[in-house]
Amino acid sequence: MKYLVLDDEILAGEYLKSLLLEIDKTAEIVVVNNPIQALESIKQQFNVCFIDIQMPGLNGIEFATKLKKIYSKINFIFVTGDSNFMGEAFKLDASDYIMKPVDIEQIRHALENLRYSVSKDEIKKGRIEITCFGNFDVLIDKKPVKFKFEKTKELLAYLVHRRGARCTAKEIIANLWEEDGHDSYYRMLKKDLQDVLNELGCGNIIYSERGQIGLSRLEDIQCDYFKWRENSVEGKKLYHGEYMAQYSWGQEINAFLDMEKYQNKD
């Protein structure tokens, strides 16, 4: 399970994190103390969000309203010292409204009674299938993924090609366009990629932070190229003469695969 804890009081946020870890020792927990910064964090997909209400800049009700516009079915639980917003909270379909000081039994009860059920492994291996040998293609739940821009697919292909390495905007622009001056277009592609994957419940396969982007959770992706990298003997059985055929930047790997396949041919 992946949790967001939003509380402008640092100690309160860390205390709630400690309670969550007592309940769920394998939990992934992101603690944020600034609601404006938290808007960046919600580009990731969380199973449950714990939200304080009285915060500077953006209160918890306003934050939850923005959150629901991105993920219509997400569990959020208000943890606050102010009872005046309870009506507004439940109009937003909050799972619970807990008054501070909070204790572990309140948290446990809230998690056992979430409004929207969640799997403890929402992204299961096999949901995401990526083909690199031949033309590059992506299936999620056996259906082709459609992006707003065709070039978004190439951006994802390049991240797959780099296999988890953190890539800068400069590197990606140089490879996808082979020239400078495409910064705005690149930002649109990055947003399109994250939006589509978030909508499909797979947003956390993308790492994006401090001007870098890359794949994460490679273990959740079924990919012929990854299989070749892990086990060239088995992987090269899937290779039939082309690697990401539609993208020129894949030619070097294609040549290497050709050489390996035919050098080792009996």
Let me know whether 94 and 149 are in one domain.
Answer: no
Q: Which of 67, 82, 112 is the last residue of a domain?
A: 112
Domain with 106, as residue range(s), is 2-112
Per-residue pLDDT at 124: 53
What is the tens place of the pLDDT at every residue in 145-185? Answer: 999 999 999 999 999 999 989 999 999 999 999 888 899 99
Q: What does the pLDDT average to over 218-224?
A: 86
Above 60 in pLDDT, residue 121? no
Q: What does the pLDDT average to over 211-237?
A: 82
Per-residue pLDDT at 123: 45
Let me know whether 137 and 253 are in one domain.
Answer: yes
Let me know whether 102 and 199 are in one domain.
Answer: no
Q: What does the pLDDT average to over 138-143?
A: 89
Mean pLDDT, rounded, of the chain: 87
Let me know whether 192 and 250 are in one domain.
Answer: yes
Q: Which long-range contacts does 189-193 make (Cβ < 8 Å, 24+ apart)?
A: 189/149, 189/151, 189/152, 189/155, 190/155, 192/147, 192/148, 192/149, 192/152, 193/147, 193/152, 193/155, 193/156
Per-residue pLDDT at 205: 87
Tell me whether residue 75 is in a domain: yes
Let me know whether 219 and 179 are in one domain.
Answer: yes
Burial label, 150 (beta-carbon count in 10 A; 0-12, 13-18, 19+): exposed
Spatial separation of the C-alpha atoms in residues 119 and 79, rounded to whole Å: 23
Q: How many domains does the chain have?
A: 2
Phi and psi for 19 in degrees, rounded to 5?
A: -65, -40
Above 50 in pLDDT, residue 206? yes
Give the torsion sign (CA, 26, 27, 28, 33): negative
CATH number for 134:
1.10.10.10
Tell me whether residue 156 is in a domain: yes
Tell me whether residue 194 is in a domain: yes
Tell me whether residue 38 is in a domain: yes
Tell me whether residue 122 is in a domain: no
Contact call for residues 96 and 77 (beta carbons, < 8 A): yes
Split at pLDDT 50, 70, 90, the class of 255 is confident
What is the tens place of the pLDDT at every residue in 50-71? Answer: 999 999 989 999 999 988 887 7
Above 80 in pLDDT, residue 47? yes
Let me know whether 61 and 14 are in one domain.
Answer: yes
Lowest mean pLDDT among 16-20, 129-133, 179-183: 179-183
Per-residue pLDDT at 233: 67
